[in-house]
């Protein structure tokens, strides 16, 4: 493992923080994508609480409804950036 890491570390370009004479601005750049507001986590949490409530009271018909609505809410949360206002 040590040989592997040493072998590849010599072939990598040094990061800005590895440069002794580097400035803070050298490491500046895009940090990533931060999503805007979303209502989908609220619906997923409500469905999870409904599923938990139904399982605790052994109301299996309510459990099935909660799972169905939860599947829709989870799909909406996963695919929210493929359509609508925030589509890429």
Model pLDDT, residue 86? 66
Give the model confidence (pLDDT) of 59-88 as tens digits.
Answer: 999 999 999 999 999 999 999 888 777 676
pLDDT at residue 47 tops 90: yes
Distances from the Cα of 77 to the Cα of 26, 50, 66, 83, angstroms: 36, 18, 16, 11
Domain ranges of the chain: 38-88
pLDDT at residue 46 tops 80: yes
Give the model confidence (pLDDT) of 6-41 as tens digits.
Answer: 898 888 887 777 778 888 788 787 777 777 788 999
């Amino acid at each position: 493992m040590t040989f592997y890491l040493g072998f590849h570390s010599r072939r990598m370009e040094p990061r800005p923080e590895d440069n002794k004479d580097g400035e803070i601005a050298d490491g500046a750049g895009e940090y990533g994508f931060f999503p805007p507001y979303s209502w989908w986590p609220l619906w997923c949490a409500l469905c999870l609480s409904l599923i938990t409530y139904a399982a605790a009271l052994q109301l299996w018909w309510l459990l099935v409804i909660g799972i169905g609505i939860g599947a829709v809410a989870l799909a909406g949360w996963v695919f929210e950036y493929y359509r609508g206002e925030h589509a890429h």
